[in-house]
Every structure is written in C-alpha cells, then in structure tokens.
Amino acid sequence: MDVSGRRIWQVAAGDADRNYTDLCLEWDVILNGPGSEGPWPDCAEALRFDWGLSPRKLDDLQRFCEELKDGDLVVLRIGTADVYGVGEVVGDYLWHEEFGDVDGWGLQHTRRVRWLWRYEKVLQRFDTYTLKLGDTVQVMDSKPVLDWLAGLPVDQSAFERPLRELPPPSKDSEWNEVSEYLFDHGVSSGVIRQLSNEIDELVRIARWYQRTGGPSEAETTAYLVVPLLRALGWTPQKMAVGWSGVDLALFSALPRRDEHLAAIVEVKAKDRSCLTARSQAQSYAEQPSRGSCTRLIVTDGLRYGVYLRKDGTFGDKPDAYLNLTRMRDAYPVLGCGGTKEVLLFMAAGWA
C-alpha cells in the first residue's frame, strides 16, 4: 500500500475490558466519547465543567472531530501490540445517536472509515509497546507499523468499496406496546403489572447509581438484578445465588440440579463491560448435563444482554439488549431486539 504523503493515525477501539473493534469494522466507523452531551464543539463546555473532563481528553476529542481529514489513514488498535484493521477516513465528522450505548459507553462522536484491510481470525500482532497507550487518537510514528503498512497488499477494489449505510434511528420503548407484546407471548397480566411497578423503581435506583457512583457486584445483584427477576416471575426456590460458581442460576423445575438449569446470569459491576461476560456464562452453560440451559444473561444491573441457545450453540451477538435508563425498541447497532424481547426472554415462563 502506498503510504507516501499520507497522514496516518492510530485509533483505539476499547481496552482490555471492552473491545468494540468488530463494531467499527462492521459499520465502517471509528468512534469516540463521551457523546451524550451532543455534537462537537457544542458539547465541549458541558464536558469540561459538568463532566470534569481533563484538558487532555478534550484535546483528544477535538483531534478526532477536527484534525482527522478525508483521505487520512487509520490503524485500529487494542493495547500496544494488536492491530485489527487499516482504513481510510471518508468525509467529515458526524454525531450519531445509535452509538450512544456501546456496551455501556456513549460513543456518538463518529468518523466514517473505508476499511482496506481487516483481521479475519488472526490479528496483526507487533511487539509489546510498538503502539502507544493513552489517547484514543494519536499520530502513528512507529517504524515497524509504518513498514508493515508500506508492504500491505491492498486491492484497488478496496478503495472503491461503498460504505455500509449507518444504522437507522431506533425509538424509545412505549410501555403499552411492551406490555401487549409480553401478554401476546403468554406472560400473565399479574406479572406485567408487577414488572411495570418494579421497573419504575429500578430505573430510579439505576439513575441514582449513575449520579453518585457505581454499586459493587453484590449490591448490583441484590438491588437491581434479583428484583427484576422476581418481577419476571422467578421465585426464590428457582433462583440460586452463587450456585456452582455461577452468579445467578435460574431453574425451570426443582430440585436445583444441572438438568433443570434454564438460564445462567453473570453479573458485572457498574462501568465494567457486561457483554464480554458471555464467554464465561457460556462455559458454565456448556458443561455436561446442562443442555436444558437455553439462555445466557449478562448484566451490570443497568444493561442486560440475552443470548439464546440455537441449534445447540450460543451466538457471538446478543439476541436482545436492554438499558434500563435508555429503553429502546431495538438495537440496530448490535443487530438485535430491545426492551420487549429482553423482558420476554428473561421471564420465568418463557421457553
């Protein structure tokens, strides 16, 4: 690939806990945040004074929004050694609401990128510290990476590939529609009424935690997760906390045995990635005699991702996703259902 005269940037897509490189590669974007205060530069004052963002982070965001230019090259990284993609910046900065919840991060600040090379199953791995830690966006000056880019074979068709259209706007969930959906799928009126009352309280608690600091994992389980599951019809007899290494085990019948296991719930503390807990939950579900476990539920008490077993396996992407403080009908960024599907899949009577 001819890199002469091209300005080249390294751009981080997460960290050791939260990796959203596949999202960037799927939607032809790079992302930055916090984005909840609106587009740049109008958000700068709120981020500086209300959020207390450091001057360094504000400089990083300004660099992302203003200094990246059409035609610049981008190296997509995690950590200091792993490269997931190489692309070309297309067009100007934009702010896109659908990236407002990327596994708990608000990353609405968006740049379009036409990916020229992307990893398949094997990353491009360099020696540790070949790439820089720190800011999301930094000038690329690492000689090993620059040499690799210069020798990277890229077909001309990659430069002509049309960008994927960005996800369409989703809409807020209307409780009347959610309750009708649940009722039509067999959830009782009593459960729906209890759920409506409980969600109001859980949203209040969740927003209080957002304002004042996160709960511990134990508090998350006790004050947010268990009350929601109780409202969804799970009884204490069929809901075991800390069972066989599992944070929460849900059973379709008694006694509590492997062959009666219906769902596994993995709970993470606030501000930790919950979707990355899928692999841990899956390892529990796929142990011998647990074929009856059809659901994986991963949560930080505010956000819930549900994975369903299909043809004997669980997919890499959630089948439905819920954020109690931002309840939506669907999550097109993740390609999955939203509020009503999560509540149905988590209900005690669903099968």
Q: How far apart are CA 285 and CA 296, in angstroms?
A: 8
Asked if residue 253 lies in contact with residue 273, where contact means CB atoms within 8 angstroms, the answer is no
Amino acid 273: pLDDT: 87
Task: Report CA-CA distances (Å) from 93 to 5, 51, 71, 341, 342.
Answer: 22, 22, 13, 34, 33
Examine residue 170 and state whether it is found in any structural domain, yes or no. no
Residues 207 and 327 in one domain: yes
Tokens matching residue 147? 């040499």
Q: How far apart are CA 289 and CA 286, in angstroms?
A: 8
* Domain coverage including residue 104: 8-160
Residues 31 and 54 in one domain: yes
Backbone angles phi, psi at 221, to 5 degrees: -65, -45
Q: How far apart are CA 39 and CA 45, in angstroms?
A: 12
Backbone angles phi, psi at 167, to 5 degrees: -60, 145
Examine residue 302 and state whether it is found in any structural domain, yes or no. yes
User: What's this model's pTM, rounded to 2 decimal places?
Assistant: 0.92
Examine residue 2 and state whether it is found in any structural domain, yes or no. no
Examine residue 122 and state whether it is found in any structural domain, yes or no. yes
| 330-331 and 8-12 strand pairing | unpaired
Closest CA to 348 of 260, 232, 255: 232
Among the candidates 160, 191, 221, a domain finishes at 160
Give the 3-state secondary structure of 252-263: CCCCCCHHHEEE
Q: How far apart are CA 47 and CA 66, in angstroms?
A: 17
pLDDT tens for 123-137 read 999 999 999 999 999
Among the candidates 125, 160, 195, a domain finishes at 160
Residues 134 and 31 in one domain: yes
Examine residue 310 and state whether it is found in any structural domain, yes or no. yes
Amino acid 32: pLDDT: 98
CA 166 to chain centre: 17
Amino acid symbol at 299: T
pLDDT tens for 182-241 read 999 999 999 999 999 999 999 899 888 888 887 888 899 999 999 999 999 999 999 999
Residues 290 and 193 in one domain: yes
pLDDT tens for 51-81 read 999 999 999 999 999 999 999 999 999 999 9
Amino acid 100: pLDDT: 94
Does the pLDDT value for residue 31 go beyond 90?
yes
Residues 282 and 207 in one domain: yes
Q: Is the dihedral of CA 200, 203, 209, 212 positive or negative?
A: negative
Amino acid 210: pLDDT: 80
pLDDT tens for 133-177 read 999 999 999 999 999 999 999 999 999 999 999 998 899 999 999
Does the pLDDT value for residue 250 go beyond 90?
yes
Does the pLDDT value for residue 351 go beyond 80?
no
Amino acid 116: pLDDT: 97
Q: Kindly give the residue spans of alpha helices, DSSP state H, lying in the chain.
A: 21-27, 44-49, 55-62, 143-150, 156-160, 175-184, 189-212, 217-219, 226-231, 278-285, 339-346
Q: How confident is the model at residue 272 (pLDDT cuts 50, 70, 90)?
A: confident
Say how many residues make up the chain. Answer: 351
Count of CB atoms within 10 A of residue 189's CB?
A: 10
SS3 content of the chain, % helix, strand, coil (to 5): 35, 25, 40
Partners of 95 in beta bridges: 109
The number of helix segments (H) and strand segments (E) in the chain equals 11, 16
Q: Say how many domains are in the chain.
A: 2
CA 313 to chain centre: 21
Backbone angles phi, psi at 40, to 5 degrees: -80, 140
Examine residue 169 and state whether it is found in any structural domain, yes or no. no
Does the pLDDT value for residue 326 go beyond 90?
no
Residues 289 and 260 in one domain: yes
Q: How far apart are CA 8 and CA 13, in angstroms?
A: 16
Averaged confidence pLDDT in the chain: 94
Residues 142 and 243 in one domain: no
Q: How confident is the model at residue 296 (pLDDT cuts 50, 70, 90)?
A: very high
- What CATH number is associated with residue 92? 3.10.590
Residues 143 and 191 in one domain: no
Mind giving me the DSSP string for 321-343? EEETTS-BSEETTTTEE-HHHHH
Among the candidates 160, 195, 216, a domain finishes at 160
Residues 120 and 202 in one domain: no
Examine residue 3 and state whether it is found in any structural domain, yes or no. no
Residues 109 and 138 in one domain: yes
Examine residue 18 and state whether it is found in any structural domain, yes or no. yes
Residues 44 and 127 in one domain: yes
Backbone angles phi, psi at 201, to 5 degrees: -70, -40
Q: How far apart are CA 243 and CA 256, in angstroms?
A: 9
Residues 151 and 198 in one domain: no
